[in-house]
Structures are given as C-alpha cells and as structure tokens.
Amino acid sequence: MNTKRILIFLPLGLVLFLVQSFFWVPTYDKQAVGNPNRLVKYIHGSAADAEILNPILSADTTSSSINGLVFDGLIDLDDKLDYRPRLASSWTQYEEAYLVVPSNNSVKNITSDAHEFANWIQTALQSNTAWSKNLKSVEVVAGEKVKGQVTVPVLDGEGKAVMENGRPKTRQVDYSLKRPDRLKFTLNQIDQDFFKPINKLLGEEFFQSFPYAQYIHAKDSPEQKNLAGHYQEILPLTEHNPIIVFNLRKGVRFHDGHQFDSGDVLFTYQAIMNPKNASPRTSDYEPIKSVEPLESHKIKIVYKRLFSPAINSWFMGILPEHLLNDAALKKEAGERGEDIESFSIRDSEYNRHPIGTGPFVFTEWQSDELIRLSGNKDYWESSAEYEEYVMRIVPDALTQEMEFYAGAVDNYSVQPHQVARFKEDEKYQDFSSVGFFYSYIGYNQRNPLFKSAEVRRALGMAIDVSQIIEYILYGEGERVTGPYPKITDWYDPSVQPLPYDPAGALRILNDIGWQKNEDGFLEKDGKVFEFNLITNAGNPIRKNILTIAQNSWRKLGIKCNTQIFEWAVFLKDFVNALKYDALVLGWSMGIDPDLYQIWHSSQAGPQQLNFVGYKNPDVDRLIVRIRREYDKKKQVKMAHELHRQIAKDQPYTFLYVAKSTQLLDKKIVIVDRQPDGSEKYSKIYPTKDGNIRFYFNKWKKLGQAPQFSAGG
C-alpha cells in the first residue's frame, strides 16, 4: 500500500513542479496580455550564481557578466573588435625613451657632455628620415642619487639556491645609485626599434664595458658581488616608456550621483596593486610605472617597458574612490566591529551592493536565486530600453530549457544536438557563431616520441577531424589550424588544415624508421610506439576524442592507452607537473595577439602554460616582437608568420572551434529612436566575435514579432 502511494505521489510532485515552473510568468504568446511589465524586463537564466560583484576582484564568468552591466571601463571593443571610447572620450599613445649619457671612459671619442652628445646623435642620424620624423624632442635629464632594493636568491655554502616551499628563497639587498645624466627622447609613435640606429652609432663597446660599479654601490660592501648580476636592472642604459594619455568623459556620475573623475581611475589602479585586496588582476597592471592625473578629467599612464597588450587592462570597470578609500573602509570596519588595520576592499559590503557608472543599477541579490538590476535612466550614453534586468540562477540544463519554453527566462544556450530542431521553430531567433575557444591534442615534447615535427604531423594526419565535427559536434564547429582565435585578424586563413591521410601518415613514420612488428605495432630500435593520452573528466566531447584518436592511431600500429582524471588531479598531478605523454584540452583565448605565456620557450617549466615544452627560437623572436609592437598592421603580419610556423611544427594537433548557439524570442529586437520620436526596429545580430548582446541597451521586446523584409 505504501509502495503504491509513493509511486503515485512522485509523478504528481514532478508534474506540479513543472507546472509551477512553466506558469510563474505568462507564456511567450501571452506575455503582453495583462502583464505589460514583462515586456520591459529581461530575465537571464544562469547556471551559477555570482561570487563577488567587484570588477577588480571577480574571476568567475557570472560575476563578470553582472559587473559588465553595472560598471564601465575607460575603453572596450566595438562590433568589429576595434577599440572604442567609454569612460575615456579619447586617448593618445606615444613614447618617452631614455639613453644614459656616456661617462668619460665608457666609449672612446664620444663626448660625455649631455648636450653635445644629444646634438651629435641628431646630426649623425638626420639622414634617417623615419627615425628623425618620429622624434618629437630631445632633452637632458640631470643625474640624481636614489636608493633602492633588489631581490637576490639565498645561497647555501656551496653557492646553490636555498629552496623554501618548492621555490627559491630570496632576500633584499639595499643599494644606492648615482644615476648619470640621461637623454629623454619624446617620440610621436611608440617604436621598439628606436634605439637600433643609436646602438649602431655607439657600438657594442658602450654596452659591454659600461662602468656600472662607478654608479651602483651596495649599502653593505660585501653585498656588491650580489648586485653585479642586477646592474642592468638597476641602471638600464636604454629604456622604453610607452605612455597613454586618456581624456575622460565629463558629466558622468556614479549611481549614487557622485561625479566620476581621474581620481577614480588612479584609485582603481592603486586598489588593484594593493596586496591587501588580493586582486587577481595584479599582473595585468604590473607593467605600469606610474599613473598621474593631469587634470580632473585627464590622466597619464606611463609604462616600464614595451608591452602593447597593456591597453586592454583599461577595459576594467572603474571603482568609486569616495566609497572605498581608506577613510570609507575604516568607517565601515568600525561600524561592523572589524579590525581596522586588516580590513580591505575584499571585506567590504560594497561587493554585494556595487555602485558603478554602467547602464544598470544594482538593486537586489538573493544568493543562489537571483540578482536584480534596474535601468540607469541617467546613463551617459543613453538609458537602456529594458527597465529591469534579472539574472535567475537555474543550475539544471533541462530546467533552463523548460523555463525558456515557458517564458520564465529570455535566453537559452542550445546544445549541439538541439540546433537543427530549433532552427526550424518559427517562434525563436537563433545565433550560431564561433568564439575565442579552440580544442587540440597536445604532445609533451620532453618525450622522445614527440620530438620530431614529422611524427607530430603524422599523428595529426591520422585523425579525421571532419568526422569529429560532424558526429560529435553535430556539425556545430569549424576546423582550426593554429594558435589564434579564428575570428581575429591574427589568425591566418591561408593556412590549410592537415589532410586526413592515414596512408600518408604511415609513410612518414616508415621513412623515419618505424616499422610494424609481428604484433602489428610500430617499432623502432626495439621500442614499440606506445604512449598514454589523457584528459579531464566531465567533458563527454573530450572523452569521445580520446576514443577516436586511439582508434585512428591503432590503425597505424600505434599503441595508445587512454585515461580520464578528475579536473584537480588532472591539472595538479599531470599538466602542471609535466608528467604526461599527450592530452586533449582547449584554450579560451583573448583579443590581443600576445602568445608569450603559452608558446615562448621560457614558459615551459612546471606550473607554466607552455606545458608541451615547445621550443623554437624563431617563434620566441616573433612572440617578443609582437608584444612590443604597437602598429596593428605590423602585428598582423608577424602574427600570420607565427601562425604559419607553429602550424608547420605541429606541437598540437589543432582540432576545431565549437559554435555557440543562443536562442531568443523573435519578439526581441533592436530599436533605434528616430528624431521625430518614432521607433525603427531591426533584427538582433552578432558582432564579429559572436556577441549578440553588444547592442543590449537597445533591445526591446514587442507585443508581437515584427515582420522584416528579406534584407533585414
């Protein structure tokens, strides 16, 4: 009897749950009937809750999406992925470069008088038109005395580094520097090659025999030998200082009415660099030498060295100084009974009640349920059409789908196997696009099996990537051939993917000595071609790729064993420890062309991102030049060269970029308000990077779907 009651009760409970889920708001077809407020409210379904609503502290996707509505940065990207002004109305970039004036005995036949030295250089290089044209001015900066510290390793009695917690132990050595006179060159354009003609004039002798010890003195004389290895760091003979000057938008106010100005930009930078706040963004701002407000709405950023991706750090949402400065934090700590000295921005209630300058104003946060924002009617650009934005936390994918059908949420991320069906449903508009992510098989080149680029090429030729895209991704993906996102200008579309050619792959392996033994496995010098291919658990697509690769290579006579590990174990014990043969993984890339961390040979150690151990001097050279180049056309040319070189070496078998498909109700459109007060509607469309929410402030839900012509 009890069993029967349970069997009857459970289905009824499920039905009741679904009914409540479906009808807590009107269905799509009837949302405008008797409930017009639903048309001015956008409800976003999210699988996870936010963690912290502060742009300098957040590291999760959900928090970042909310922060992007509440806060503005100085700049961001337009629909073509070019930089556009936001809180900065405009900006200029130029360079101040410094050259130490030779001492009397550092270079023969070259004057040590700073002014004569400056005239000599300009006269000698006046025929170099490009150099002279870029030079705006030259001035002498008088020498000065400064004190500082340098970090050196602690050595044992045998001169070896002492280790502490797996890292070299360090200490500080104090020094004094009598900095000599320097020439300051102000350049119209940032130029990483500016010093090349000067270096040629001065000759190698100047740089190799400069008398550093005359200028740098350890506080404790015995420490002088420890400073010797840091002379060039303490006193660089040449120095590039790129500069960005931002003109800030006037009349912008935070949501509490306080006016935004350059002090807020300076404060945001200082808050990021303050160790008490433990911001995950610190490394993005480490290249900065100084931040100087010039006026209330003008600020100058000086960088320590050439690093062109640095401008991207100013996408960061700007914090209100008046709410989070030391005085405000001490007041909050006192009111809450917290320790005033240790209290930081990370401890502030601000992180659950943020105030920014963005198009939406924070209203409410119910943990694991919803976050509510209201439209900022005083937004500097123009107020959003939607009066309210609600993020509902719906962890279960099936529930998200059901809520979308019912109109309880306005968005749905379609699974690959559902795309074909939804494309035929006339109620919805769908958007399929590729993004910044790509998948690959990476080969640990510390393993002798994978040292040869020809072997890696053969392994790639044995895998039919088109079959992976067709049957595993249901056609929702595209081939990729190199290390850049396919949607960026850095990606070279002329590079062709490896052909699917198992016979050709086997010929390559045979030609370099791999022959099948009696058991049907490839063997060379008595060693069978055998290795392990691993990936992380919880990703069915990667699991399927393991099987496909294993079977493909088995047909060649390669013995591939596969294993799947829980993510934390996979990362800690295998990837970061460099203890694996090959793996299936993916990268989510950024917008800039800097690939230093993933592909430069210096980044191939434990805990670093070049975990396949790829080393190519030509690639290293290109990577360094790209990150120091500020001319986009030159960057694109070098990035294409880099793409071709890495594709040739095949350190990865580059697989695919998956498409992301989003659904929206067809009644949601972009509205443009005309001068006469009328409204013009157009279809929502994705930007170059597949972002459909670029024009979100112009989105509007109508009572019924409009009829558009075939052209739009």
* Domain architecture of the chain: domains with CATH: 21-70+341-433+661-701 (3.40.190.10), 75-92+243-331 (3.90.76.10), 93-242 (no CATH), 437-660 (3.10.105.10)
pLDDT, tens only, 434-483: 889 999 999 999 999 999 999 999 999 999 999 999 999 999 999 999 99
Burial of 410 (0-12, 13-18, 19+ CB in 10 A): buried
Using alpha carbons, select from 45, 15, 6 the residue that is nearest to residue 411. 45
Give residue 112's pLDDT: 80
CA distance 322 to 260: 10
- Please determine, for residue 5, whether its predicted confidence score (pLDDT) is greater than 80: no
What's the pLDDT tens digit per position in 155-179? 887 878 888 876 788 999 999 999 9
Mean pLDDT of 619-648: 97
Strand partners of residue 413: 662
What is the distance between the alpha carbons of residues 4 and 11, in angstroms, rounded to a whole number? Answer: 12
User: Tell me: the pLDDT tens digits for 232-276?
Assistant: 999 999 999 999 999 999 999 999 999 999 999 999 999 999 999
Residue 602 has pLDDT above 70, yes or no: yes
Q: Provide the strand spans (E) within 529-581.
A: 530-536, 559-565
Q: What is the 3-state secondary structure (H, E, C) of 353-410?
A: CCCCCCCEEEEEEECCCEEEEEECCCCCCCCCCCCEEEEEECCCHHHHHHHHHHCCCC
Instruction: Say what the pTM is.
Output: 0.87
Does the pLDDT of residue 685 top 60, yes or no? yes
CA angle 262, 264, 269 (to 5 degrees): 100
Kindly give the pairing relationship between strand 582-588 and strand 530-536: parallel
DSSP 573: I
Read off the tokens for 66: 């909310």
- Take residue 638 and report the two structure tokens written for it: 């070098």
| Percentage, residues of the chain above pLDDT 70 | 93
Per-residue pLDDT band at 34 (split at 50, 70, 90): low
Q: Taking residues 629-639, what's their average pLDDT?
A: 97
CA distance 277 to 335: 20
Residues 6+ apart with CB under 8 A from 167: none
Residues 403-413: tens digit of each pLDDT? 988 889 998 88
Q: Give the span between the Cα atoms of 119 and 613, in whole angstroms.
A: 48
Q: Which has more pLDDT, 14 or 517? A: 517
Rounded mean pLDDT, 63-92: 96
> What single letter denotes the amino acid at residue 307?
F
586 and 440 in contact (C-beta within 8 Å)? yes
pLDDT (0 to 100) of residue 19: 34
Which is more confidently placed, 417 or 621?
Answer: 621
CA–CA separation, 708 vs 705, rounded Å?
Answer: 9
pLDDT grade, residue 8 (50/70/90)? very low
What is the predicted pLDDT for the residue at 20?
36
Could you give phi then psi for residue 206, rounded to 5 degrees? -60, -45
Q: What is the mean pLDDT of the chain?
A: 91
- Asked if residue 374 lies in contact with residue 27, where contact means CB atoms within 8 angstroms, the answer is no
Mean pLDDT value across residues 533-561:
96
| Least confident stretch, 146-160, 315-329, 594-608 | 146-160
User: Is pLDDT at 81 greater than 70 in this prediction?
Assistant: yes
Q: What is the mean pLDDT of residues 179-188?
A: 96
In the structure encoding, which two tokens stand for residue 709, read together? Answer: 């012509």
Residue 701 confidence (pLDDT) above 60: yes
Q: What is the mean pLDDT of residues 302-307?
A: 97
The three-class DSSP label of residue 561 is: strand
List C-alpha distances in Å: 542 to 47, 415, 441, 464, 585.
21, 15, 10, 15, 8
Q: Looking at residue 104, what is its pLDDT?
A: 64
**Distance (Å, whole) CA 172 – CA 57:** 29
pLDDT band at 17 (very low <50, low <70, confident <90, very high): very low
pLDDT of 31 reads: 52
Tell me the residue type at 368: D
pLDDT: which is higher, 547 or 37: 547
Average confidence (pLDDT) over 580-595:
94
